[in-house]
Amino acid sequence: MPNKVKVYGKAQSRTALGIANAYLVINPDVTLEELNKAFPGDLNSANRCDTIFVDVNDASKFVTTEGKSTYEMFFFEKEDELLTLKDGQKVAMQQLWQKEDFDKLVDWVKQYNIEVVECKPIEGFQKGGFTLEYDPDSEVAAAPLVAETQSEPKTDEPKAEEEKKEEKKKKLWWLWLLILLLIIILIILLMRGCGCTRQQQPAAAEPAQVVEPVAADTVTAADTVEAIQKDFNAAQFEAAKATLTESSKLVLKDLAAMLEKHPSVKLRIVGHASSDGTAAFNQKLSEERAKVAADYLISLGIAADRIQTEGKGSSEPIDKENRERNRRTEFIVVE
């Protein structure tokens, strides 16, 4: 087994899943109990239970007071996302990772010789995924959630070239099959047109439709009103500015995905500022922050009539000791 694994990811949540897979590569005999000891629950502030990993058979414990299961909203639950331990046990991992928690996770796994080389942000509704690179032989394991063609770490070039040729042969085989079917159809139509056939010919089979595999969706979106107020109030700003940070944009993209699923939901975006500056300046700044967040959601396709904005200045701090946390927007469901 490798002594070290490098992780190349796209989207924070999928990169976190790649980190878990990297740990299993290095420690293939690990049990669920040992896995949760290696990744304590307090690594993720959005945790919905005491542990990062759960047995899929225990999903029934994740139920709201209304009786609705929250398992699929907060855990990677699709078959190709589950972790399989040596004894065959299927394990699901927490999928909501905010920027601060993700950075803590990346730093934590350095002790296990796991290095996150890159975590690229996603644009709009792009797909995410991860790739693992083993050291010292640079053996690459293609992750099951790699969702689009992208630059891979170093691979065995002769082997990669051979795989490309094989894939090309498969595509050519389908192409020739489609051409042959089209020729058969054309001949039948011509024979009918010139009266060469005395009896009705059976209809030629339609060319088989080639269905491209759809990659796993990596937009990590919450599906409940409760999740909006608990998980998306993390769009923060730099001091004295109303400019969205890259991490704030990722939060808003996840929120836009949730709003797309629930077109009846309307929001009031409330901007806040820290106690730096005058009251008048902070009031104006908080209003601008709310508007910037609203404009970004609108640019992602959310209708403007679904969004209200409001500024509270520095009147409602959430942490008097940490001014950075007060430079934020909050999302309130109004309908």
Asked which of 118, 142, 166 is the last residue of a domain, the reply is 142
Predicted confidence (pLDDT) at residue 16 exceeds the cutoff of 90: yes
pLDDT attached to residue 212: 43
316, 197: one domain: no
Residues 52-111 pLDDT 10s: 898 988 766 665 545 555 565 678 878 888 999 998 999 999 888 889 999 999 999 999
Residue that terminates a domain, selected from 168, 184, 214? 214
Decide if 148 is inside a domain. no
Looking at 90-99, 122-131, 307-316, which range is the least confident one? 122-131
Query: How many whole angstroms from its chain centre is CA 118?
Result: 15
| In the chain, alpha helices (H) | 12-26, 32-38, 71-74, 99-108, 157-193, 225-231, 246-261, 279-299, 323-326
The pLDDT confidence band at residue 186, using thresholds 50, 70 and 90, is confident
Report how far apart the first and last C-alpha atoms of the chain are (Å, whole number).
Answer: 54
Q: Give, as one character, the DSSP assignment of residue 48.
A: S
207 assigned to some structural domain = yes
Tell whether 61 and 162 lie within a shared domain. no
Q: Is residue 266 part of a domain?
A: yes
For the segment 153-176, the average pLDDT, to the nearest whole number, is: 63
Q: Is the pLDDT of residue 204 over 70?
A: no
Let me know whether 201 and 314 are in one domain: no
In this structure, are 9 and 108 located in the same domain?
yes
Residue 230: pLDDT band by 50, 70, 90 thresholds?
low
- What is the domain count for the chain? 3
Does residue 159 share a domain with residue 272?
A: no
pLDDT reported for residue 210: 47
| The pLDDT of residue 50 | 79
What pLDDT band is residue 172 in, cutting at 50, 70 and 90? Answer: confident
Q: Do 27 and 132 reside in the same domain of the chain?
A: yes
Band of pLDDT at residue 23, cut at 50, 70 and 90: very high
In the chain, the percentage of residues whose pLDDT exceeds 90 is 27
Q: Is the pLDDT of residue 285 over 60?
A: yes
Q: Decide: 266 and 308 in contact? Cβ < 8 Å.
A: yes
State mean pLDDT over 321-333. 78
In a domain, 197, yes or no: yes
pLDDT at 322: 76
Rounded Cα distance, 332 and 99, in Å: 21
CATH of the domain at 311: 3.30.1330.60
In eight-state DSSP terms, residue 40 is B
Token reading at 166: 């094989």
Q: How far apart are the C-alpha atoms of 138 and 129, rounded to whole Å?
A: 19
Q: Which residue has the tokens 């990659």?
A: 215
Residue 81 forms part of a structural domain? yes
Domain that holds residue 326: 225-333
CA–CA distance, 18 with 115 (Å, rounded to integer): 11
Closest CA to 276 of 327, 214, 209, 216: 327
Do both 99 and 163 map to the same domain?
no
Q: What is the mean pLDDT of residues 271-293?
A: 87
**Spatial CB neighbours of 154, under 8 Å, sequence gap ≥ 6:** 133, 138, 140
For residue 160, what are its two tokens?
Answer: 């990669």
Flag whether 271 is in a domain.
yes
Residue, of 317 and 327, whose pLDDT is higher: 317
Q: Is residue 34 part of a domain?
A: yes
Greater pLDDT, 127 or 234:
127
Q: Which residue has the tokens 């030629």?
A: 204
Decide if pLDDT at 9 tops 90.
yes
In a domain, 147, yes or no: no
Q: How confident is the model at residue 253 (pLDDT cuts 50, 70, 90)?
A: confident
* Confidence band for 262, pLDDT divided at 50, 70 and 90: confident
Reduced to 3 states (helix: H, G, I; strand: E, B; else coil), residue 253 is: helix
Q: Which of 214, 246, 267 is the last residue of a domain?
A: 214
CA distance 144 to 178: 30
- Indicate whether 114 and 57 sit together in one domain: yes
Do residues 247 and 320 both lie within one domain? yes
The answer on 232 and 203 residing in a single domain is no
Summary mean pLDDT of the chain? 76
The answer to whether the peptide bond before residue 136 is cis (omega within 30 degrees of 0) is yes
What is residue 152's predicted lDDT score, i.e. its pLDDT?
37
Distance CA 75, CA 94 (A): 4
Query: Is residue 91 helix, strand or coil?
Result: strand
Say whether both 271 and 290 belong to one domain: yes
Dihedral pair phi/psi, residue 317, rounded to 5°: -70, 150
pLDDT of 227 > 80? The answer is no
pLDDT at 76: 84
Once rounded to an integer, what is the mean pLDDT over residues 32-61? Answer: 84
Minimum mean pLDDT among 104-108, 114-118, 179-183: which range?
179-183
Same domain for 200 and 305, yes or no, is no
The pLDDT value given to residue 247? 77
Taking only the tens place, the pLDDT of each residue in 134-155 is 755 544 444 444 433 333 334 4
pLDDT of residue 215: 36
